[in-house]
Amino acid sequence: MASTCVVGLQWGDEAKGKIVDLLTADHHVVVRYNGGANAGHTVVRDGKTYKLSLLPTGILSPHMQAVIGNGVVVNPVRFLEEVGTLRAAGIAVGAHNLVVSDHAHVIFPYHVEEEIRGAGAAIGTTGRGIGPCYADKVARSTGIRVGELLHPDRLRERLRQVVPRKNLILHALSASAKIFDADALCDEYLGHAQAMRPFIKDTMRLLHQALRDNKRLLFEAAQGSLLDVDHGTYPFVTSSNSSTAGVWSGSGVPARHLTRVVGVIKAYTTRVGQGPFPTELNDGPDGLGEKIRKTGREYGTVTGRPRRCGWFDAVAVRYTAALGGVDELAVMLLDVLGDLDELRICPAYELDGERVTDFPADAYLLERCQPVYESLSGWKVDVGDARKPGDLPGAARKYVDRLIELIGLPVTIISVGPDREQTILCS
């Protein structure tokens, strides 16, 4: 049975949530397979705006079963908060439509403290404890899984082992760092565990049963492929496999079940946090970078940080499209470029006097790459009301056609605004 993955091909914030929301009609189960509450997904439905960080955006569709897979790192406080917010907004959320893997790892407050006091700033992380939690998962001796929350004695024993070690590290990082009490933390998290209990399941088994029942799965990636810990611009990346590479390990569903991979791109590029960004527009408060930021409301959903903005980088997207086995593209936020006289696309870089068309995923090499640009004329029209390709002005169609040519994949969806209706389906 057909399964789909929606994946970002840039540095995150490609508006994947809207595409997931559009595709839910053809699917039965939506699966988050990586990251945690560092993601920020905004979906506008019937004039209402929903902002989700940890729960899959697919949960907004009443017929969908939402799954938080084993590859996700779960902050129980945030989980319960998001469930509460959705319920308050009238969305039915319960064990009938939301499950969390017992194999997912738990983010504790010491992870957040470790990140704030440690190396988070050098990478520009979101401060949500993501990196330290994944580090503990891989270290094994200090990782605690969601399933362990349901065993009070075991949880207490584990926290009594882990917390004193964390306190030592925290104290070494900063004399003013917060120090934790294992028993108090255990009591607090046993409270959260009670509230989470109905949601905690063996999600791999559930997903395999769904496949046997001919259900269609929709995998929802968090972040973008350029932030993938193995294939992105390391070390300026997140700590999970945010490309389609994470589907198998992060859900237990073999990748061969994916029959459709939709790569989501913005019509330009943004990045939050540190790291190289060859096409960044660093042209001051009156420049085009700021203009795009303002028009596109390019401020982080999670942290509120202004996003760095720049021209479309075809070198990077060719790389992530190949990495992800992408079949088709969704081009987002085309409307944001409507006010510019001239547009630029970067089909190649120059490195040490040579033209480079293969993306160097080594951040230090990428830092030295200079973008080579080609110029296209702007369309100077508001395209927010376009509903079919023919409604777009010629210059906008030319721009999209050039992306298709450079990346070598068809564009099947063009988004011209945040609302569901502001979507062009291209056949």
Would you give the distance in Å from CA 183 to the centre of its chain?
Answer: 34
User: How far, in Å, CA of 64 to CA of 29, rounded?
Assistant: 5
- Which is nearer to ligand IMP, 11 or 108 (by Cβ)? 11
Q: What is the total count of residues that contact ligand IMP (CB under 6 A)?
A: 21
One character per residue 273-302, x = contact with ligand IMP (rule: CB under 6 A)? x-----------------------------
Q: Which stretch binds ligand IMP (CB under 6 A): 32-40, 96-104, 140-148, 187-195?
A: 32-40
Query: Strand, coil or helix: what is 90?
Result: coil
The first and second tokens of residue 144, run together, are 């605690």
Q: Which stretch binds ligand IMP (CB under 6 A): 35-43, 162-170, 338-346, 408-416?
A: 35-43
Is residue 56 close enough to count as binding ligand IMP by CB under 6 A? no
Touching ligand IMP, residues 379-408 (CB under 6 A)? none
Directed axis angle between helix 394-407 and helix 314-324, to 10°?
A: 50
Minimal CA–CA distance to 144: which of 136, 156, 152?
A: 136
Q: Which stretch binds ligand IMP (CB under 6 A): 69-77, 125-133, 184-192, 257-265?
A: 125-133
The first and second tokens of residue 341, run together, are 């006289």
The first and second tokens of residue 44, run together, are 């506008």
376 by Cβ neighbours in 10 Å (0-12 / 13-18 / 19+) ranks as: middle
DSSP secondary structure code for residue 402 in this structure? H
User: How far, in Å, CA of 210 to CA of 252, rounded?
Assistant: 13
The one among 39, 100, 146, 267 contacting ligand IMP by CB under 6 A: 39
User: How far, in Å, CA of 20 to CA of 32, rounded?
Assistant: 11
The one among 75, 126, 142, 422 contacting ligand IMP by CB under 6 A: 126
Q: How far is the CB of 124 from ligand IMP (least distance, A)?
A: 4
Residue type (1 letter), 184: A
Touching ligand IMP, residues 212-241 (CB under 6 A)? 222-223, 227, 236, 238-239
Is residue 252 close enough to count as binding ligand IMP by CB under 6 A? no
Which are the contacts of 50, defined by CB distance < 8 A and separation ≥ 6? 42, 43, 44, 57, 60, 86, 89, 91
Contact 34, 340 (CB under 8 A): no
* Phi, psi for residue 157 in degrees, rounded to 5: -60, -45
Q: Which stretch binds ligand IMP (CB under 6 A): 38-46, 178-186, 248-256, 323-331?
A: 38-46
The one among 3, 34, 65, 125 contacting ligand IMP by CB under 6 A: 125
- Which is nearer to ligand IMP, 219 or 399 (by Cβ)? 219
Q: How far is the CB of 225 from ligand IMP (least distance, A)?
A: 11
Is residue 40 close enough to count as binding ligand IMP by CB under 6 A? yes
Residue nearest to ligand IMP (CB): 273
Is residue 13 close enough to count as binding ligand IMP by CB under 6 A? yes
Q: How far is the CB of 143 from ligand IMP (least distance, A)?
A: 16
Q: Which stretch binds ligand IMP (CB under 6 A): 10-18, 153-161, 164-172, 194-202?
A: 10-18
Q: How far is the CB of 422 from ligand IMP (least distance, A)?
A: 22
- Which is nearer to ligand IMP, 12 or 417 (by Cβ)? 12
Is residue 103 close enough to count as binding ligand IMP by CB under 6 A? no
By annotation, the residues acting in catalysis are 13, 41
Q: Which stretch binds ligand IMP (CB under 6 A): 127-135, 137-145, 164-172, 374-382?
A: 127-135
* Phi, psi for residue 135 in degrees, rounded to 5: -60, -40
The one among 38, 61, 142, 320 contacting ligand IMP by CB under 6 A: 38
The one among 29, 272, 392, 424 contacting ligand IMP by CB under 6 A: 272
The Cβ-side half-sphere exposure at 291, using a 13 Å CA radius, reads 15
- Looking at the DSSP assignment, which residues form a beta bridge with residue 45? 48
Contact 341, 328 (CB under 8 A): no
Q: What is the DSSP string of 178-235?
A: ----HHHHHHHHHHHHHHHGGGEE-HHHHHHHHHHTTPPEEEEEEEEGGG-TTTSSTT
The first and second tokens of residue 409, run together, are 């994949």
The one among 32, 117, 128, 137 contacting ligand IMP by CB under 6 A: 128
The residue ranges that bind ligand IMP (CB under 6 A) are: 11-13, 38-40, 123-126, 128, 130-131, 222-223, 227, 236, 238-239, 272-273
